[in-house]
Structure 1
Amino acid sequence: MSIRATTALLLLALAPLAMASKSNIAAKETFNIDSVHSTAIFRVQHLGAGNFYGRFNELEGTIDWDAEDGPSFDVSIKIESVDSGNEALDKHLKNADFFDAKQFPTMTFKSTGAKKMGDNWKVTGEMTMHGVTKPVEVDMEFVGRADVGRGDRVGFETTFTIKRSDFGMNWGVENGALGDTTKIIVSLEGIKAG
């Protein structure tokens, strides 16, 4: 066999490896969080009876998506955007009894890992709220991915609970005015960067 023929065969044999390597490099995609179509909702028991709901209207950050290695999240929520549907209550939620928006203007979540669980992901990360950082683990539902003419988009949603006292938010816990266990629902939609 000639050197030319051997070289050609070698190149043909190595081509799939080069293509696979190239596709792995391009596998990770970044999506910017669409704040209009993303939300963070919280629920806490009020006076030992009903549930009180609130939300944050301003989220930003990125979702890095790799179908093989899973998603990673870097999310920031503006505390000033808290919305209970009541102006006086919003003012109270922003003061030092609760979120203390002047001292701690953002709440963040940065993921550190993801493990595939069927169609969804178990995501670990660090949540920082009220100046305190704690590890959290959440079950992240992959909602979908589509491009219907308004950009390539991806969606994720999670529901989890925290104890707000773990983050130094103790107002109303001892006297039962507000529960300590807080349910959080985060729904994120990202639009592909670039």
Structure 2
Amino acid sequence: MANITWTADPAHSEVVFKVKHLMITTVTGYFRKFEIVVETETDDFKTSKKIEFIADISSIDTHNEQRDTHLKSADFFNAEEQSQLRFVGNKYETDGDEVSLHGDLTIRGTTKPITLKVEFGGIVVDPYGQTKAGFTIDGKVSRKEFGLMWNAVTEAGSVVVSDDVKIHAEIQLVKQNVPVAAKQ
């Protein structure tokens, strides 16, 4: 049986990160350029054979050009030497209504296992005949575990940027191919 390939619909997907600034507010950022490829045996994502997400570090957008430039620098993501952030899922696990996606996240050449909470929105056929699947994904990582060590301290002793980074994604996948056996 041939695998079914699903890819991100960029017009209906977004990948967001949130970090506390001065420990009093949250700064929100986006990866504007990313790719997602999922391969399944059927329309049931529990049959996933491949789950891969790649974000282009140069596409970071926090609505502040100076901050974006700093995030791309060697102080943080080091985009000149490490141009991509990569997540490779290795287990899509369901427990009742709870869904977890386990995998390896690579930032700045450091790979660590993480677990993301997944909410499966379902599968529909859009008005153009495309089969689409929707997901909401949430997680949290320690930026320092991935070598993003830069920090400063205010006069009062507070840190400027928190270690915890919250991840939120709204993903719409588009089915790219249907196995020949399924068409008959």
TM-score, normalisation: structure 1: 0.80
- Regions of 4+ moved over 6 Å: none
| Higher relative contact order, structure no. (Cα contacts within 8 Å, ≥ 6 residues apart) | 2
- Give the Cα–Cα distance (whole angstroms) in 2 for the partners of residues 86 and 79 of structure 1: 15
| Alpha-carbon distance, 1:106 to partner | 0.6
Identity of aligned residues (%): 28
Q: Which residue identity is paired with 1:124?
A: H
Q: Per the alignment, do residues 185 and 152 of structure 1 end up closer, same or farther by CA in structure 2, a change over 3 Å counting? A: same
More helix by share: 1
Q: Give distance in 1, aligned partners of 2:62 and 2:46.
A: 37
Q: Which residue of 1 aligns with 2:141?
A: 162
Residue pair 2:90, 2:102 contacting (<8 A) in 1 also: yes
The total of aligned residue pairs comes to 169
Change (3 A) 1:74 1:56: same
Report if the CA contact (8 A) 1:155-1:189 is conserved: yes
Q: Do the aligned partners of 1:33 and 1:60 also contact (CA within 8 Å) in 2?
A: yes
User: What's the RMSD between the two structures over aligned residues?
Assistant: 1.8
Answering whether residue 18 of structure 2 is matched by residue 39 of structure 1, we say no
- Report the structure number with the largest CA radius of gyration: 1
Q: Give the corresponding residue for 1:81.
A: 59
1:178 is aligned to 161
Query: How far apart, in 1, do the equivalents of 2:170 and 2:39 lie?
Result: 15
Amino acid at match of 1:94: K
Q: In structure 2, what is the Cα distance between the partners aligned to 1:187 and 1:133? A: 23
Q: Would the aligned equivalents of 1:173 and 1:180 in 2 still touch at CA under 8 Å?
A: no
How big is the shift at 1:70?
A: 4.3
The equivalent of 1:7 in structure 2 is none
Q: Point out where structure 1 has 5 or more consecutive residues left out of the alignment.
A: 1-24
Partner residue of 1:188?
Answer: 171
Normalising by structure 2, what TM-score? 0.84
Secondary structure of the 2:58 match is helix
Letter in 1 for 2:17: F
Gaps of 5+ in 2: 178-184
Q: Name which of 106, 116, 127 aligns with 1:149.
A: 127
Alpha-carbon displacement from aligned partner over 1:128-186 (angstroms, at most 9, x marks no partner): 11111000111211112111223111111211111000000011167611000111112
